[in-house]
Amino acid sequence: MSFVTHKLIKPDTVEARLYQEVLVSRIIEKGNTLVVAPTALGKTLVAVMLAAYVLEKHPEKKILFLAPTKPLVTQHETSFKKFFNIHEEEIVSITGSNPINQRTEIYKNKKIIQATPQTIENDLISGKLNLKEFGLVIFDEAHRAVGDYAYVFVNLQLQKQNSNCLVLALTASPGSEEEHIQDVCKNLSIKNIEIKDQTDLDVKPYVNEIEIDWVKVDLPKDFITIKSHLEEFQKKQLIALKSLGFAQTENKKYYNKFRLLEMQANIRKRLITHGSTQPSLFYGASKCASMIKISHAEELIETQGIGALNNYFNKLTEEANHGKSKAARQIIADEDIKIAILLTKKLFEEKVQHPKYAELKKIILNQINNDPKSKVIVFNHYRDSITEVVEFLTTGEGAELIKPRKFIGQATKGKEKGMSQKIQQEVLEELRNDVHNVLVASSVAEEGLDIPTVDLVIFFEPVPSEIRTIQRRGRTGRHHKGKMIVLMAKNTRDEAFFWTAKSKERKMKETLHSMKKNNSFILEQKPKEQTILNEFDTKEQNEKIIIFSDSREQASNINKELFSHEDVKLITKPLDIGDYVLSKDVCVERKTIEDFLNSMIDGRLFTQINNLRQNYAKPLIILEGNTTELFTLRNIHKNSIFGALTSIALDYQVPLLNSKDSNETAQILYVIAKREQKTNNKEVRIRVGRKGLTLSEQQRFIIEGFPLVGPNLAKALLEKFGSIKNIVNASEKELQELENLGKKKANLIQKVLREKYDENKSTLKELEGDKELDDEEIQKAFDENNSNSNEEEVIIDEE
């Protein structure tokens, strides 16, 4: 069977490549597969052919294609419409920008759906999407499927809801470490690995050669002088750290950035257990932080140049002057650093550049002179340098031939705003249309965007990651011969990063082939079992624990963890008070250490606590994170922090629990909600203002204000009488026709509606008059109302 001539593939749109058809056959035979192949080998076409096969065999099924960014989602939609022989309306892309109602219709009616994983994750959590109808789920850029990335959660739900669904994972590089590759395979339920590269005999006829070269430059004498002063500072810190027992040696070369971060992590661990008794730990933490900051300065002078380093020194000086960082104050006060700063400023004012700049212009001009229609991408890791490179290329000799354009991510960093995806697309379109011929790009151009193919890729600096190196290289050589040039400063970390990346890429290939040969990856996944608090299961298994979550918490790991419990119904909506409502009595305000400190400073903390106390019988604060950081994260005196904690406990009488991370927070929320709702039989009742409520919720909210009327009875009243007006006009006898609404309740409701307003006559007992209800009877009536809780799910569109 030829997949190229499949009836669901448009005739003459797909080039017949035997290796692609063999890949599809192996996936069909072996099941969930990770395909590892460089860019331009046609991984998307493999997905198209596999999708055609699945839809022919199971015409009732749907296809889901996940990609990490909106532009990539749109790109895959275009590809499927180009190749697939079905109505184009059946192929749709969705992202979080699509309204929720529109997404629901798409899930219901469309055949092939391209989406970002975050959108799918949110719709799974909110209950808008079920994966039972899908026959194939494709994970593009599958190396991301580790940690908390949305791919992991989506596949976990896929295995729970539809374990027979086929999984196809695509990547150019899953990483060099076997443990990382194992994680990707485990998290995507992979049963088979297929590897292809340019050296395979069946691939060679279809790939273009990429010429790889590197150009080395010497650091100027003044650069070396600055570097030596930075090294002297580092040596002094190491001597101090060694005397405290934190460093093993005074040899600075041993302590690269990775080892410094490792040392910092070890010091922080010791701070947790011994911080109050060993002040030297805080001193060591400050010294280590100083070394990490100056390690970054060393990298800038070696690989980027004076402009980037001058900006960084200005930032450190500002931090020190404003008291934001002890480490910054310590750095700026050091004599070696003072000399380095002065020399850097002098060179900056003289407009001295790193020698890479001249080489870069020379390479680009040579390329354009040889081929005036050439397109070039220059990759640079640092935004400051990107701006400087663009300015350099637009001035001086050859500037009339070079038309550079900056290309950065969406995030705002410092004073520089990011580029929206709309602007990014405009810049890429201008590159296609020859408005520009050089793109000076950050890592955002490495993956996830439909970048036009270019003739030359230049690394302004090597990167020590095999994944990023492969992705950068993949931007050239797609349709014709390509070229890649790496700029390196001699005797610097540039050289170390270059060889590290080459070594990791070689190791990745060896590891993948070894894993495939030995079948040494996890073959089967079992859904995570929930074993917490089985002793609290006092009701039938099909009853759900209802947890209301504020919509601002929707993307948090807490919600993912809560959603993984089979007996939890998670309802996400805007909450005016608190972050989680666990019963009619319990509302939780969750704060990370940083948010707790920030809310102390800006005054939010006690306003939020006061709102909790006024509206809920059992308010609770969960403080998430390492409590030692309360005293180290911000420059706040410890007496102020102790004062705030004391006030919460004694003045406001609100309990405060500490959790180490989001997973533990989720466990605490689950335990409390289960205890409240299944052991104490308390329904969930939210107190919110009018903000964010639908019409039906506003109606219920009003009726819940009647005496002894909870959510269930409010809903029953509205369903029986149809409107608030009809309830108000109903007689006491008509009200009593409703189950669970006896004579006393009906009488109280009527009195609230009919009696003349009198602020001195406001309690239930006074309203009842001669037929006095005691507190026990009131509570009994309320409990009767709430005893058969069957709360309907109410979800507010996150849009």
Which tens digit of pLDDT belongs to each residue from 66-82? 999 888 898 899 999 99
Residue 788 to residue 715: CA distance in whole angstroms: 13
| Paired residues of 525 in beta bridges | none
Average pLDDT, the chain: 83
**Mean pLDDT calculated for residue range 81-92:** 91
Provide the pLDDT for residue 203: 84
Report the range of poorest mean pLDDT among 12-16, 113-117, 335-339, 782-786. Answer: 782-786
**Mean pLDDT calculated for residue range 631-642:** 80
Residue 615 to residue 461: CA distance in whole angstroms: 57
| Paired residues of 746 in beta bridges | none
Token duo for residue 144:
């991301």
Provide the pLDDT for residue 35: 94
**Highest mean pLDDT of the ranges 219-223, 263-267, 431-435, 753-757:** 219-223
Q: Specify the residue for token string 């050439």.
A: 374
Provide the pLDDT for residue 760: 57
Residue 237 to residue 234: CA distance in whole angstroms: 5
Which tens digit of pLDDT belongs to each residue from 397-435? 888 999 999 999 887 776 778 888 888 889 999 999 999
Residue 546 scores a pLDDT above 80: yes
Provide the pLDDT for residue 425: 86
Which tens digit of pLDDT belongs to each residue from 585-599? 899 999 999 899 988
Determine the angle formed by the axes of helices 711-721 and 775-786, rounding to 10 degrees: 70
Provide the pLDDT for residue 138: 97
Which tens digit of pLDDT belongs to each residue from 100-151? 888 999 999 999 999 999 999 989 988 889 999 999 999 999 999 998 899 9
Provide the pLDDT for residue 789: 35
Residue 583 scores a pLDDT above 90: no
Provide the pLDDT for residue 354: 96
User: What is the DSSP annotation of 535-552?
Assistant: GG--S-TTPPEEEEEEGG
Residue 256 scores a pLDDT above 70: yes
Residue 336 scores a pLDDT above 70: yes
Which tens digit of pLDDT belongs to each residue from 31-61? 999 999 887 788 889 999 999 999 999 999 9
Asked if 575 and 686 count as a contact pair (C-beta separation under 8 A), the reply is yes
Residue 704 scores a pLDDT above 80: no
**Mean pLDDT calculated for residue range 328-356:** 94
Which tens digit of pLDDT belongs to each residue from 516-532? 777 766 554 444 443 33
Which tens digit of pLDDT belongs to each residue from 599-629? 888 778 888 898 888 888 899 999 999 887 8
Asked if 460 and 273 count as a contact pair (C-beta separation under 8 A), the reply is no
Length of the chain: 799
Residue 780 scores a pLDDT above 70: no
Residues 6+ apart with CB under 8 A from 441: 377, 378, 379, 380, 386, 406, 407, 408
Residue 307 to residue 214: CA distance in whole angstroms: 23
Provide the pLDDT for residue 614: 83
Residues 6+ apart with CB under 8 A from 578: 550, 587, 588, 589, 608, 611, 612, 616, 619
**Mean pLDDT calculated for residue range 497-526:** 78
Our measurement of the distance from residue 35's CA atom to the centroid of its chain's CA atoms, rounded to an integer in Å, reads 24
Asked if 677 and 576 count as a contact pair (C-beta separation under 8 A), the reply is no
Residue 784 scores a pLDDT above 70: no
Provide the pLDDT for residue 474: 85
Grade residue 309 by pLDDT with cuts at 50, 70 and 90. Answer: very high
